[in-house]
Structure 1
């Protein structure tokens, strides 16, 4: 939980920090570009006006007063450098004298950065008959450089950057504090769920996770899903306990009987050869019963574990014919009818035969000798259908939902007879082949088991 909280908090803070820093950087760049563009536009406009004014007069001689008024006298914002032949600085106004020589070299028609903190633009005047008079001497002016001092602009940008940086730090700090609180409160239901889950893991199978839809539908759905898993686990544990108890009961009866006969032999109570032979037959019968039960349990265990079955071409019609033929040999007085057509599937022939044998044996075991049994195989385009129907007394409706349960028998006394695994094996094997099995019954009329299996595609 701590790791999740840390990751969520760090993720939220990182995302917000990226947004805040990106916004701060973008804002700073925009402000810087706006100020720079404004300075360039102003300088370009001033240069254009000055260029037009000089061209409008036919020769002019400038003195220091004219020089100061050339750019409108905007002290601290614009300056001028007058350049003579050979790049000599003749005069300058509102420009740091130390930067005058560097600015004199600017001859660009558009504003450019120069001398570190100036924007400058050059105006050629060689053909304008422009002279500068100083100390009674007139000197030809080759070009004039107009400048803007960007120091104030840079100071504004620096102050804005500082303000934005402080705002970003404060914003990130607020985001961190908010993320800690929000994530902590948001994960509180998960912490409660974790505590409940720990209690369940510790052995309290009655505990369940709280479900509160009003807080968070997603967390409520998670809680319901986990509760369903706990319910399924508890049900599975109950089933396992019941299964083990039933298996123990089924194995105990033949084992006790066989042990009793063996003990009689060990005590010398079976001195009569006929009685001893009868005892050995009973022991063999009980051992065979145990062997059958163990085989059935092994079959269920393999299918429960998802052990792959053989995948061979099998004709359900031919397989049903073999099963019916064997059943007629075992019970020659029983009316067993077969209605079958070729129905190819892909599966395990041994297990599919076991399914049909179990269904036919179930019908002959639990119906009177005069009840007829009909096995029908109906092929289909995508799924084949096999039905095993009898004309016996039928099954009470209350018993139908339990027929495929393991070790379930209608007789509460669990007297001698089958193990109660036959139909459970049928369902398990059919489902392992991708099929379904169902039962319908009408008391006094008979019972029909219907199974479907996927048809084999060419």
Structure 2
């Protein structure tokens, strides 16, 4: 497989060769018609000049010694008196008869060597001085030599071919240099990327803003991708470490009670029953945590949720009703304004509302009020869970949705640290968003926004 440098060089060279050779071929094909047209134009000009001059001067007498001067270096002249040759100049003697055999008053090609035309001078008072007498010239055959046409064409084609070959060679070398220099940043980037792929995650691709902007943009984009990948890997490692730590605590506790029983330390039935209750509690905690981890894994993998019409207002009413039964001493209110339909997975949306309400119950004092509100705003269904508790410090707000994060690390037994992470994952899986605002000493509000859906009757 050829490299991109080879492909670019070959492509550029092929294009340049095609253009140059195409131009050379066109020029070569055009040279002969151009030369032929030149000869015809020259003969037409000579014929016109001769007839016009004789008509203007009222005739002329040609001396024998002046005929070669009239013919010049490119013309031939034959003077006739009733088809008898009076004089000829500018032509080989042996060709005169061949020319006269085909000469006529129209332009005639003679064996590809001459272009001739006979001019009737009988009425133009043209005479030829033989030295002893003046003889009237009845016809003059004007001849343009065309034998040099082929030589000139070959010379031009040769010059074009040599020029095309030299130019193509120079351009190919220039293309190799230009492509090599242009791809040099990519070579550097590839070498650096290989080192990163081999495990050196501290490196990043060089970004040269003074060079090709597209290459610089590509390097910058890849660096961002590396940063995102490194951040994701760090988050995965931290997540695994946190999950291991969280699972280790109940596992250690349950294992301790079992080992105590195996060593015979739980002979008292009451003590044994207490131990089994502790083990059951820790196992339930582990089961809950593994279920939550599995749910987060499914949402991270983008697995589709159920899609059905769900009334968010009904979920809010049911959740508050259940919370009042479990916490009769707490003041929990709910405000809805009719139905609020969304498209989603009803059990998961109910879990969102339960987690937010449960989070408010867990982290606020008994005298705090909790309010659940469902409204419709600009084509969205908005769920707000507010409390009048102590509020959350501003430094803690950016970390609330991080997995296993707790404001007080010492309280490792207070929940799994996954509740708000699950809420965020489920809301985003439904195409929604979640935010939080809090004022210390006044309270906290979590706001969930979901795409609205028309009512079933609409």
TM-score of the two chains, using structure 2 as the length reference:
0.83
Question: Could you say which residue in structure 2 is the equivalent of 1:239?
Answer: 235
Question: Could you say which residue in structure 2 is the equivalent of 1:39?
Answer: 39
Question: Could you say which residue in structure 2 is the equivalent of 1:382?
Answer: 379
Offset at 1:442? 0.8
Offset at 1:360? 1.0
Question: Could you say which residue in structure 2 is the equivalent of 1:223?
Answer: 219
2:12 is the counterpart of 1:3? no
Offset at 1:144? 8.1
Q: How does 1:107-122 map to 2 (within 5 A)?
A: 109=106, 111=107, 115-121=111-117
Hey, what's the Cα distance between the residues in 2 that align with 1:308 and 1:125?
Answer: 104
Offset at 1:27? 4.9
Question: Could you say which residue in structure 2 is the equivalent of 1:133?
Answer: none
Counterpart among 258, 262, 273 of residue 258 in structure 2 = 262
Counterpart among 202, 208, 225 of residue 206 in structure 1 = 202
Q: Which moved more, 1:27-36 or 1:323-332?
A: 27-36
Counterpart among 282, 287, 291 of residue 287 in structure 2 = 291
Q: Which moved more, 1:342-351 or 1:23-32?
A: 23-32
2:309 is the counterpart of 1:313? yes
2:450 is the counterpart of 1:427? no
How many pairs were matched up? 450
Query: Is the contact made by 1:258 and 1:286 (CA closer than 8 Å) also made in structure 2?
Result: yes
| Other structure's SS at 1:308 match | coil
Q: Which moved more, 1:163-172 or 1:146-155?
A: 146-155
Question: Judging changes above 3 Å, is the alpha-carbon distance between structure 1 residues 33 and 322 closer, same or farther for their aligned structure 2 residues?
Answer: farther
Counterpart among 402, 410, 418 of residue 407 in structure 2 = 410
Hey, what's the Cα distance between the residues in 2 that align with 1:30 and 1:209?
Answer: 54
Hey, what's the Cα distance between the residues in 2 that align with 1:24 and 1:104?
Answer: 39
Hey, what's the Cα distance between the residues in 1 that align with 2:109 and 2:436?
Answer: 94
| Other structure's SS at 1:309 match | coil
2:71 is the counterpart of 1:73? yes
| Other structure's SS at 2:445 match | strand
2:235 is the counterpart of 1:278? no
Deviations 1:361-396 (A, max 9, x none): 111111112211111111134222111101111111
Query: Is the contact made by 2:112 and 2:147 (CA closer than 8 Å) also made in structure 1?
Result: no
Question: Judging changes above 3 Å, is the alpha-carbon distance between structure 1 residues 445 and 41 closer, same or farther for their aligned structure 2 residues?
Answer: same
Deviations 1:35-61 (A, max 9, x none): 3332221122334456779999xxxxx
Structure 1: state its 5+ residue gaps: 57-62, 131-137
| Other structure's SS at 2:405 match | coil
Offset at 1:99? 10
Question: Judging changes above 3 Å, is the alpha-carbon distance between structure 1 residues 126 and 437 closer, same or farther for their aligned structure 2 residues?
Answer: farther
Deviations 1:92-116 (A, max 9, x none): 876675796698557684x565523
Hey, what's the Cα distance between the residues in 2 that align with 1:98 and 1:414?
Answer: 122
Q: Which moved more, 1:100-109 or 1:298-307?
A: 100-109
Hey, what's the Cα distance between the residues in 1 that align with 2:180 and 2:426?
Answer: 51
Query: Is the contact made by 2:392 and 2:444 (CA closer than 8 Å) also made in structure 1?
Result: yes
Question: Could you say which residue in structure 1 is the equivalent of 2:131?
Answer: none
Question: Could you say which residue in structure 1 is the equivalent of 2:434?
Answer: 437
Question: Judging changes above 3 Å, is the alpha-carbon distance between structure 1 residues 29 and 265 closer, same or farther for their aligned structure 2 residues?
Answer: same
Hey, what's the Cα distance between the residues in 1 that align with 2:55 and 2:362?
Answer: 125
Deviations 1:223-253 (A, max 9, x none): 2222222221211111111000001111111
Hey, what's the Cα distance between the residues in 1 that align with 2:171 and 2:362?
Answer: 76
Structure 2: state its 5+ residue gaps: 57-61, 127-134
Deviations 1:51-96 (A, max 9, x none): 779999xxxxxx9979x959942455446698x99xxx99987667
Offset at 1:153? 2.9
RMSD between superposed Cα atoms in Å: 4.0
| Other structure's SS at 2:7 match | helix
| Other structure's SS at 2:71 match | coil
Q: How does 1:46-65 map to 2 (within 5 A)?
A: 46-48=46-48
| Other structure's SS at 1:397 match | coil
